[in-house]
Amino acid sequence: MEGPGSGSTLTASTGLFKRSILRHRRSPISPALGGATDTAMGRPKCRTNQRICCREFLDIPIRRPMLSNAKGLAATGVSIPTQGVRVSDSQAEQKECGLLHRLRRREPAAKAPTFLLIGPYDPHCGEYTFLAPPLGVWRLAGVLESAGHEVKVFDPNCCEGPVEPALEEVLRERKWDVVGISTTFMTLPFDLSLAYLARRSAPEALLIAGGMEATFNSQRVLELGPFDLVVLGEGEIPLLEIGERLAASEPLTGVQGTAHLHGDGEFARFAQRAMTREELRDAIFSTPYERMPYGAYWDRLARSYAVGELPTKAEREARLAEIRSVRLITLNYCPMGCTFCSSTNFLHSAQGGTARLARLSAEECLEMLRRIRSAHPDARTLIFQDDIFAFRNDDRLLPLCRALEECKKTGEIPEHFSFISTNRIDALNRERLVAMRRAGFRVLGFGIENFSLEVLKEFNKSQIHPHITPVLRSALRLGITPFLDMILTSPRCSMEDVAENVRQARSWIVKGCEVGMYPYVIPFAGAPMASDPLLRPHTRYATKRVAGTDLSWEQPAKILPMDPAVRESILLIENDFQERLERIRGVRHLPSRLRSLLWIASAIPILRRMSLCMPSRRGVVADLLARLPHSHRAEFLDAVCLRLKPAPAPAQALA
């Protein structure tokens, strides 16, 4: 699914450019925004006049982007995967000029523009984002710093106090030339609230949006927010080009990888190619891990999980290893094309065509591990945050595992240091699982999604079905914990599909797996299902509002099953889940492994009333309580065991 920290999209990229540099002709009505404004909200009344006036620049020749590569995408050594993709990491292309080599050849500007990059804002404490530093934003910061820019990252999810005053203080501490704001589908209202605050506090800065939402819905983001530009796809090359043009007082029209609105409201979009393997490598190597506040996140997570109160030492140690983790992205995107997911289309959308796959080699992964260990010696786990870490035809996995095992034998990596990754389940056989276990992989994530073959066909994942049971059994026998991502329903699923999912999820949890669960497909922008006209009648919308403004819009929120009985059932289950969750006031962050048990506990009585075979709810509740800190158990017991008003069995099913 959409991953707020994935890649280095400007997923925190909202840049504000100086209007004077853009040669914007300000309206006498408002010298700051070029239009009349509501001073209470900082929101322009005249949206058209507020925009950058780009018309006068359209006939100006656009310089070739700094990072244009004559060999283009052919040098990556990785072909676009279909069902039998082979992922190669040939080092022959290392002779090509990468991103850092090009940066070293830049002529230093007299005054390099300053950048403030703001991460996606999730006030719900990790419900919509990882509780970790925004990796893509920090990667952008490292690349811009390598080019000589002064860059600061503001992470709204890592503030001790209120976010808005903290951001205002940062915005006013100096004159920022560019302010970049990351946007995601789930956090967009909160991201926009920070954008309007930035516009009010730094009206002369160039305001840019980036990330998944800005890439897939560029025009809507420009219309909703006070942005001057949006960046499409990976943010490194466009921001470097923007920095160069600002330093040279050149117009910003036509920067590849950006989109904007003309003064008359006309939308203009300029595609950009995805970074080559060398550019991706150099961008990852530029990430300033030593400045990333992992320690602050670890402390916050430890408090949220109440680790010291967990019932067993093994559980406490497992949670500490999970909490004290650092994340590393080694792949540019997932190529698998699942119909519910937007990841595959992110770089394709920005490029206007199929992007080449690119990732780090085994040796480069080891080098990044050494850097991360040096920057964060108290870390216990490295999470490979790639959407897919192991492919079916993969010549990196076994050499990397052997190298990690050797590093542990020599003492370069502590024996207790572990690894977590997300993988194609049909890519892992016993040989690979044994190698990963010996290297220290203790948790392997699998996008199972659903145990029904028909639903997997609907999700374009039917090829994994015969591999689910044997791979999970092998992993458990080797002492590896599988983490299963699941979606309880699909648009075309049956009631028996839902029941089988609940039964299988409960069965595998008992055997030692962990599960993260969604009740239905979320229509992420860029996902094939989100744009399927046949599913629009079954899509529900939610009204979204931006705090501090009168701005609101209807955003797709869920794609419900077509079958009326299934649709009614999942809504009843969701309502029961939400009511019980709201009664748990003392727990600020509920991990997905516990949420899944609560989903199962909510589903069992509703499905049982429809004469569907279900596991014991009492066992689920006992399992949930056993995994909780002592101080949280009473509150959970009251919430989970409380007799809510019985939900009727779905009328369609009874009929």
Interatomic CA distance for residues 652 and 631, integer angstroms: 42
Q: pLDDT tens digits for 211-220?
A: 999 999 999 9
Q: For domain 37-66+106-272, give the CATH superfamily.
A: Cobalamin-binding domain (3.40.50.280)
Q: pLDDT tens digits for 45-82?
A: 333 333 333 223 323 232 222 223 333 323 323 333 33
What are the residues whose beta carbons fall under 8 Å from the beta carbon of 73, sequence distance 6 or more?
Answer: 273, 274, 276, 355, 356
Per-residue pLDDT for 602 more than 50? Answer: yes
Q: Which amino acid is at 373?
A: R
H or E segment and range at residue 43: strand 43-44
Could you tell me what percent of the chain has a pLDDT over 90? 67
Angle ∠(619,625,627) on CA atoms, nearest 5: 105
Nearest to 269 by CA among 214, 204, 226, 225: 214
C-alpha separations of 251 from 20, 62, 116 in Å:
10, 9, 20
Q: Which amino acid is at 337?
A: G
Q: Annotate 157-194 with b (16+ C-beta within 10 A) or e (fewer).
A: bbeeeebbebbbebbeeeebbbbbbbbbbbbbbbbbbb
Per-residue pLDDT for 552 more than 70? Answer: yes
Angle ∠(450,454,456) on CA atoms, nearest 5: 40
Q: Which residue has the tokens 């192991």?
A: 390
Class of residue 343 by CB neighbours under 10 A (exposed 0-12, middle 13-18, buried 19+): buried
Per-residue pLDDT for 4 more than 50? Answer: no
Domain extents in the chain: 37-66+106-272, 435-655
Q: pLDDT tens digits for 157-211?
A: 988 889 999 999 999 999 999 999 999 999 999 999 999 999 999 999 999 999 9
Residue-averaged pLDDT of the chain = 82
207, 12 Cβ separation under 8 angstroms: no
Q: How confident is the model at residue 632 (pLDDT cuts 50, 70, 90)?
A: low
Q: How confident is the model at residue 98 (pLDDT cuts 50, 70, 90)?
A: low
Neighbouring-strand partners of residue 152: 116
Nearest to 54 by CA among 323, 252, 225: 252
Query: What mean pLDDT is predicted for residues 81-100?
Result: 46
Both tokens assigned to 654: 């009874």
Query: What mean pLDDT is predicted for residues 258-266?
Result: 91
Could you tell me the pTM of the whole model?
Answer: 0.82
Q: How confident is the model at residue 449 (pLDDT cuts 50, 70, 90)?
A: very high
Per-residue pLDDT for 6 more than 70? Answer: no
Q: pLDDT tens digits for 608-626?
A: 999 999 999 999 988 888 8
Per-residue pLDDT for 318 more than 60? Answer: yes
